[in-house]
Amino acid sequence: MARSRTRTPPKRRGPKKWKMGLAACTVVLAVCYANLGKILSLWQGLTAQNRAIVQSLEGGVPSEESGEGGAVLEKGESWTDFSALLPQTTAPADTPPEGTQKPEGAMPTEAVDLAVQSGVNYQSAYIKNKTSLSDGQIAELLGTGPGAKIQLGSDQPQVLIVHTHATESYEPYDLGYYDPDASSRNTDNAQNVTRVGEEIARQLNAAGIKTVQDKTQHDYPQYTGAYDRSRETIQSYLEKYPSIQVVLDVHRDAIQYSDGTRAKPTTVIDGKKAAQVMFIVGCNSDKTPIPNYEKNLRFAANLQSSLAQSYDDFMRPILFDYRFYNQDLAPACILIEVGGHGNSLGEAVYSGQLIGKGMAEYLKTLA
């Protein structure tokens, strides 16, 4: 026998739920309206960033130039006002991690002041003359201006930074000792002299002087022939960017006493330890043909004088000797020694910052 079924009528929704939904929508719209200006500003910012990326890919600075020490700009824009676009970096710490143990057999490091005022004097610079030229002849060479000419705000590179011995490294911390079993070379570019060059490039770019840095490790895996390999690198950049006026080959020195103590040329600037700096300029000879050596020497002497006036006891005398170092390739080529293998990485990077800032002020006078 079939059972009778009674159909239950559907329940009708009361007015409360849709009214609550309407109220929630009203609140959301009110919040959006109150913050409309901020929302539009955020949207415009994101749109501008995307547009800048597209423009850089279509005709701006190539991506290979836009790493550390550089920023992507549109053609024709000035670099002077774009320091905020430079990548942020953190200064290396000179305080070791808690629990760091002094290694067995550790040897001392000793801070020394090598910013002596001796040699051929030119303005605030001093030159240690190791050539057959007399002091009077050198003074005569320095009488005219450098050959470099800088274009401020140009999107074309004006300065090239290379590292023939890129793996030269520093002590990780300022401890007063070093581990003789540890290597003074490091293939990690965050720990070697390329980190110093990166800081120089950052400061120059921030000042509107377009600078490119090459981080090729010309001394690894083979040390012999490093200058031949860096020469090829420099020539390739000069061919690609004939606008380059200044070539800086950034190194670190190595000074060690007979008893094993490592000397660390150090000064204090604005309350912080800084590694002292030395320029090396080669002189022309049959074995070291540098026909433009006078221009290099004038550039180094004027730059040194400018830095010495800005920072007390920062600059060691320029070493002027019969050395080649590929200094025949551009209007101004110099080798820079930043500190020694007894200095800490933090001291050296701070010096890179000072070099970059001081050099930017000097290069502006060549515009």
Give the chain's end-to-end CA distance (angstroms, integer). Answer: 109
297, 360, 342, 330: which is closest to 112 by C-alpha? Answer: 342
278: its two tokens:
């030395």
* Domains of the chain and any CATH numbers: 84-94+103-364 (3.40.630.40)
pTM score: 0.76
131 neighbors 308 (Cβ within 8 angstroms):
no
Could you give the 3-state DSSP secondary structure of residue 63?
helix
Element (H, E) at 179: none
Kindly state the greatest CA–CA separation across the chain.
132
201 neighbors 158 (Cβ within 8 angstroms):
no
151: its two tokens:
């274009």
- Output the tens digit of pLDDT for each of the chain's 367 residues: 443 333 344 444 444 555 555 555 565 565 555 555 545 444 444 333 333 333 332 333 222 222 333 322 222 233 333 333 344 556 776 777 877 889 999 999 999 999 999 999 999 999 999 999 999 999 999 987 778 999 999 999 999 999 999 999 999 999 999 999 999 999 999 999 999 999 999 999 999 999 999 999 999 999 999 999 999 999 999 999 999 999 999 999 999 999 999 999 999 999 999 999 999 999 999 999 999 999 999 999 999 999 999 999 999 999 999 999 999 999 999 999 999 999 999 999 999 999 999 999 999 999 9
Establish how many alpha carbons lie within 13 A of residue 361's alpha carbon, considering only the half-sphere containing its beta carbon: 15
